[in-house]
Structures are given as C-alpha cells and as structure tokens.
Structure 1
C-alpha cells in the first residue's frame, strides 16, 4: 500500500468524520479536486471541502478549505444536501453548500495535514458534467451516480440515501 493511502487511513480512517463541501459552478463547469489515496484506483474526484476544526463553524471551515485546496476566496450560500460517504476505512457525513467566488486565483492547493511529498491533492480544475461522467463511478463522488445533468446536481436536497 502506498504512503498516501496509509496517511489517509491514519488521519481519517476508522472513525466518523464531518466534512463540509462546496458546489462552485463557473460557466457551466463544476470546480473539482482530484485526490489520491482514496478508492481502489487511487483517483477520486469530488468538489472541494474538508473537516471543520474544533470551534470552527461549518461556513468558516468551508472558506478555509476552499482557500487551502483551490486558492479561491468564497462566500458560502445555502445548505443543499447531506451525503453519507462510506467507503472503508472512510466514513464521513458531508454537508454540501452552494458557494460563490469572491476573490483569489485558481491553483492546485494542498492538504495541511499531509507533508509536502505525500500530498493527496493531485489536480484542481473546472469540469463539465460530461467530463465527470466519463470517469468510472468509483472515481467520482457518488452524487454523480444520482444525476443525469449538472442542473440535477444543484437540485439535490435533503439526505442522499445509500
């Protein structure tokens, strides 16, 4: 098993975790982050996000996570839906919010819990719905299995059942 996968397991595995995630649509494309160390193929695409720190609100955490992962400053909008991510050894309750860019410059960011040579973020880019759907289902967030268009992603509500 590679070092990134071991680090993901050590830091986030075998416990329930809260994550906040942002849906950022620009010119019909969704901002996505590619991770390694997650899933069977070592490629996993999902919207930017991460775990709040103790004493940090969900909004504050999402603003921080976006800055760390993408270099963008955001304004957090409405809570859209909740997803329960369950892929052994990972288990997370994910709160998805609409977000709007208010500043910064798009770049590939980092995960501060990982050291420089073992970063799990490998790419950050805007993707069309068709580009996302070209990946195997196990390489993209499960929300995309539930939708047939980008518009449907932004109409997901409530708790997404397994």
Structure 2
C-alpha cells in the first residue's frame, strides 16, 4: 500500500475514543474550590471546576479557561495531579480527565457557565462529589507537592 493511501485510510477510519476533559484543584487556607453543577449529569451535586477540552486547545489552556468560566477565578497551573480514565467515570460517555492543581492569580469567586454555585469548602468536610472527583482530591492530598 502506498504511504499516502495508508495515512488517508488511517485518519478516515471511525474510532471510538474517550473524550478529553480537565478538572482543577484550587486550594487556599485549608479550603478547596467546588462548584455546584447546574446541569445533568449530577445536577445539584458538587464537583471540581472543569469540563471538556475544545478542539484546537491544549489541556492546560482548557483547565484555566473552564475555571475562569465556572468560578470567575484567574489561575495558573502548579502541577499535574493525574489522569483519570475509568470508562464509567462519566455516565454520558467514556471520558479521560487530566486533573491539575492550580493557584489563584486574580478574579473574584462567583458562579458562572455550568455552575449554579461556587464556594470554598474545608478539605476535612467535603460534600458528596460528582464523578470521580473524590479520587482526584485524594491523589492530590497524597502528593508531596501540595503542601
């Protein structure tokens, strides 16, 4: 098979791949920023701010954008927390989330976009969380760079 035909066939094939998402862990003074979801799935539940990576955007750009849209906070990435890819982590479809820890640079905490509410919660008294966000926070707590 000719090389150009191989690549044409390869890229035109329909693959079922996970959808990329991002989530952000923002903490200050022993508290963490959570949003209350405005839409299904998990409408009314609390979650880390985050969402889908848009076409043409990096995961790093996406997490900063999603946090600004949902919380009003301008942030920068501190560290990668991990990749969470369980096929059942999102009831809508198979997603693969890249979780980051971030620091606040500016802005005022307020709810926006898909968030009905945004607030700081004590790390030792968190509400029930949507998706696998409890696992993300636990992994972040165990990392040596978060304190």
Q: TM-score w.r.t. structure 2 length?
A: 0.72
In the TM superposition, residue 143 of structure 1 has moved relative to its aligned partner by: 4.2
Whether 2:18 is the aligned partner of 1:16: answer yes
Q: Matches of 1:16 and 1:88 in 2, distance apart? A: 12
Output aligned runs, 1:74-113, within 5 Å: 74-84=75-85, 86=88, 87-111=90-114
In structure 1, stretches of 5+ residues that fail to align are 1-13, 112-120, 158-162
Call closer, same or farther: CA 1:124–1:90 in 2, change over 3 Å: farther
85-94 or 24-33: bigger deviation: 85-94
In the TM superposition, residue 155 of structure 1 has moved relative to its aligned partner by: 2.1
Output aligned runs, 1:129-144, within 5 Å: 129-132=123-126, 134-135=127-128, 139-144=129-134
In structure 2, stretches of 5+ residues that fail to align are 1-15
Out of 138, 142, 145, the position equivalent to 1:155 is: 142
- RMSD of aligned Cα (Å): 2.7
Runs of 4+ in 1 over 4 A off after TM superposition: none
1:45 match = 46
On the 8 A contact 1:80/1:154 being kept in 2, the answer is: no
On the 8 A contact 2:18/2:95 being kept in 1, the answer is: yes
Q: Matches of 1:48 and 1:77 in 2, distance apart? A: 16
1:54 match = 55
Call closer, same or farther: CA 1:142–1:53 in 2, change over 3 Å: closer
Call closer, same or farther: CA 1:143–1:48 in 2, change over 3 Å: closer
Relative to its length, the structure with more helix (as a share) is 1
Q: TM-score w.r.t. structure 1 length?
A: 0.66
Count of residues in Structure 1 that have an aligned counterpart in Structure 2 = 126
Q: Matches of 2:124 and 2:131 in 1, distance apart? A: 14
- Structure with higher Rg: it is 2
Deviations 1:31-69 (A, max 9, x none): 111113114xx3332111111211111111111111100
